[in-house]
Each structure stands twice: as structure tokens, then as C-alpha cells.
Amino acid sequence: MEFVKEFATFLHQKQIIKFGDFTLASGKKSSYYIDLRLVPSYPHQFRTMIKYLQNEIGEDIGLDSFDSLVSVPTGGLIIASALAIETVKPLIYVRSKPKEYGTSKSVEGKIHEEMRVVMIDDVATTGGSVVNAIKSLKDENITIEDAYVIVNRMEGADEALKELGVKLHSIVNIMQITQALYEQKLVDDSILEKVREQIAK
């Protein structure tokens, strides 16, 4: 898993992942903070991440097994846009709330009945935003069986998506990142322990 090691080191060096005491958007306390919105500021690493994601999807489910990529603004949409260009796949996205003017639709882009899509997002914690997006897609009779995220924080998203019949795949999870950093002596065992505790909650 050379990619995991290099990616973890990159995240740490550029302070895309920070360890300490943080309060997340949900109000939840966390022993680390990860902001993948910084990755596109480093085009080489961004492209490496996108190509790795492309290969994973190709090997897992095949690029011909779905019609379109779908994402949720904004974090995931940047990743999905780059992936759509690399794979030459159509892209649609789901608004967090329908726009209140014009067509007032929640799914943007060309859709048709029974189309098959794969969800792309940046980070999965509890899966809330993706769950809402999946429900919007199902309302439009769009089939979704797989979702891909770059980092799985391992705090319930797998189970939440599974209940909707969607399998969550991740490039790396928070434990793999922390373990890789620990092995390179970039974080100490107290940090490793804190992350473990957080996942176990």
C-alpha cells in the first residue's frame, strides 16, 4: 500500500490533517481534523489521488457498470469533476436543498429513468449528506449501489449507506492514515490511541 503511505505523509506535511481537539460541523468533538478541500491546491498529488480512485473503481465494479458519476457540493464535486474528465463519464450532482427559483430541482445534470450512478464524495463520517443525496436520487428512479469516498472516518457511514442498499468504498480510512504516520514516527502512540478511541465510540 505505497499510495496510502505517501498520501498520509502528504496530508500530514501540508497540514491537511491535523491532530488535536476539534469540534466538527455536526457539533461532535474530534481528535483530528481533515480538510480535503486543500488537496486540489497541490495538482500532482490531486491527480495521483484521482488516478488512484479511477483505478479502484475500475477494479472493483468496472467503469462500464454505471452511466454517470454523481456527487454532492462542494467537497466531493471537485473530486468527481476531475474524475469525470479522466474517465470521460457524465457527471450530475445533488443539491443539499433544492434551488428556490427556476426549476427548483434537487438533481442537476442530465438524468433519465433507471440510470445507474456511482456516488463520489471526499470524506465520510456518519454519512448524513450522502444519505440525503441517495434518497433524492432514488426519488428520481436512479439506481445507486456504490459510493466512493477518499477518506472514511469510520463513524457509522458504512452502516448508514448499507441500510439504503449502497456499499461504501474508501481509498483510505482514518486508521490506515494514522497507522502510516505512526510507523514513520510522524505521530506518537497517544494520537494513535485517541483516533482508535474515537472510532470505537
% of the chain exceeding 90 in pLDDT: 83
Query: Using omega within 30 degrees of 0 as the cis cutoff, is the peptide bond preceding 74 cis?
Result: yes
Cβ-contact 199, 155 below 8 angstroms: yes
For residue 98, what pLDDT is reported? Answer: 67
Kindly give the parts of the chain with pLDDT less than 70.
98-104
Angle at 99 between CA 80 and CA 86, to 5 degrees: 15
DSSP 65: S
CATH number at residue 83: 3.40.50.2020
Q: Which residues pair with 147 in a beta bridge?
A: 119, 168
Handedness of CA 6, 7, 11, 17 (dihedral sign): negative
**pLDDT recorded at residue 1:** 74
Q: What is the pLDDT of residues 62-113, one digit of tens each?
A: 999 999 999 998 889 999 999 999 999 999 999 877 666 666 678 999 999 8
As for how many domains the chain has, the answer is 1
Can you give the pLDDT at residue 65?
97
User: Across all residues in the chain, what is the average pLDDT?
Assistant: 93
Q: What is the pLDDT of residue 103?
A: 64
Q: Which domain does 77 fall in, by range?
A: 2-200
pLDDT for residue 96: 78
Say what the pLDDT of residue 71 is. 96
> Taking a C-beta distance cutoff of 8 angstroms, is the pair 104, 98 a contact?
yes
